[in-house]
Structure 1
């Protein structure tokens, strides 16, 4: 009888430990854009200081939204609204919790090095040949690419090709062009480390194809606030300035630092900002 009671007690203890471990497990989804990498790692390292076991999963933009909507991920901090990710949000808004902005003053568009004699998207109609009638893009599922397709139609740039790729291939092409002092047009966004390294200018968008100023938002699974109120509160408090984020992005790029290590060092150096997230 005593042996049986002891075994039952051990079993219950093990189950309690498993439940506790599950209660402290947080799954974050993100897109491998340099700004999303910085923000996601900052959030992950902050949650770790509160004892959470955090898993980060990189996904394409559409899959990231879907993962949060289905509960496969607890949250993400890379929702560009109101324009860039409008289609994703409209489709899934009843299945997710839009927690709110974590970065203000964001924007998207096309950019060129300052030495390029173009000032507007419209200039590609007459000067497209200078860049081989190409705009260097990122991953095809990105809202920026959808906006770029819209710009090609809005400005009647039928001879211009939008080249698919990734953040990494786009910035590599930009570096190569700048090293050669050659003209290039790239899809881009703010915040991005490229504006800290290179002298660039956005092309004016008089037709508004890329929308106006945006915010980058935190989105959680529908029932996270009830299941993990402390985590949800941290998500709601989580805010980053454009300046802080771009400096961290540039640090990751130039020093080749592990993003988690960069985030951890920043957290240790900025206790007052982190305290505002965890209060």
Structure 2
């Protein structure tokens, strides 16, 4: 959780801050504020394993750092993120899927949160298989389960995708006899890579937009019963004091839009084309290659 600095600042320090574009007037905790009225320290909560959220958060970290903010990214599962937003332990999260995937959390915590709007409207939950798999629909999976080692590979047990798979997909398509495993998104992606590299059949829970569709030869199984739901929007949600503490940033995020081609481009360089979790230089290069778009984010 974020740590805040308390204490009085002398006149000389105050003058220096003003010259640097900051003031010492802050929120209730005495934190520094920028000339634009926002607190200088901002904590963005990032869902473990959800790469579109990682990409968007790293992008905004770079953008806001350039604007003079001190930005901290904190990784956690959805439940503690939404709880932490209601207590201002986190300021904002950029990866809320609505109206289906994260609806339970918004129903529980939404009265103490602020919806800053959707920045991508192409999100969809999927069940993906290798491109040359002998089936094309979820209706065929139960009868051909043995071709997939009788296994459906999932992600984190606390994810909305897991809830939809457990409550909707499995009963709707009679998949109760398949072994449905949950552990983590990296583990699922490792299984996907190993199977496609070996030319074996594999079935995994996945979602679009995701860089895996460019990295691996895979396809989505058709969902004629609509168990996975329709396309969703990816929303930014602020904590209960977010608009008061960050009036300028709140406006930027309300206007934030990133289409799937732009998101795929960023995800590819971060997760597919580079084998490192030091995303700073990668994001900086992407920003340089997409400067006009990035500049528009803070106008």
User: Offset of 1:76 from its aligned partner?
Assistant: 0.5
Q: Specify the alignment match of 1:219 in structure 2.
A: 237
The normalised TM-score by structure 1 is 0.91
Counterpart contact for 2:9–2:24, Cα < 8 Å? no
Q: Specify the alignment match of 1:54 in structure 2.
A: 71
Give the secondary-structure state (helix, strand or coil) at the position aligned to 1:140. Answer: coil
Counterpart contact for 2:270–2:283, Cα < 8 Å? no
Cα deviation 1:70-125 (Å, max 9, x = unaligned): 21111010101111111111111111001111112111110011110111112122
Q: Distance in 2 between matches of 1:37 and 1:140?
A: 19
Report the number of matched residues.
272
Q: Distance in 2 between matches of 1:9 and 1:243?
A: 47
Cα deviation 1:10-30 (Å, max 9, x = unaligned): 379579386326920001001
User: Offset of 1:266 from its aligned partner?
Assistant: 1.9
Counterpart contact for 2:64–2:71, Cα < 8 Å? yes
Q: Distance in 1 between matches of 2:203 and 2:10?
A: 64
Q: Distance in 2 between matches of 1:176 and 1:218?
A: 34
* Residue 255 (structure 1) aligned to one of 274, 280, 286: 274
**Residue 278 (str. 1) matches residue 298 (str. 2):** yes
User: Offset of 1:196 from its aligned partner?
Assistant: 0.8
Q: Specify the alignment match of 1:31 in structure 2.
A: 47
Q: Specify the alignment match of 2:248 in structure 1.
A: 230
Q: Specify the alignment match of 1:162 in structure 2.
A: 180
User: Offset of 1:198 from its aligned partner?
Assistant: 1.8
User: Offset of 1:41 from its aligned partner?
Assistant: 0.5
The normalised TM-score by structure 2 is 0.85
After superposition, the CA RMSD in angstroms is: 2.0
Q: Please say which of residues 263-272 and 214-223 is displaced more in the overlay.
A: 263-272
5+ long unaligned stretches in structure 1? 1-7
Query: Aligned runs of 1:108-257 on 2, under 5 Å?
Result: 108-149=125-166, 150-253=168-271, 254-257=273-276
Give the secondary-structure state (helix, strand or coil) at the position aligned to 2:10. Answer: helix
User: Offset of 1:9 from its aligned partner?
Assistant: 8.2
Q: Distance in 2 between matches of 1:204 and 1:9?
A: 61
Higher share in helix = 1
Q: Distance in 2 between matches of 1:265 and 1:27?
A: 23
User: Offset of 1:132 from its aligned partner?
Assistant: 2.0
Give the secondary-structure state (helix, strand or coil) at the position aligned to 2:199. Answer: coil
Q: Distance in 2 between matches of 1:187 and 1:91?
A: 25
The one of the two structures with greater contact order (alpha-carbon pairs below 8 A, sep at least 6) is 1
User: Offset of 1:222 from its aligned partner?
Assistant: 2.2
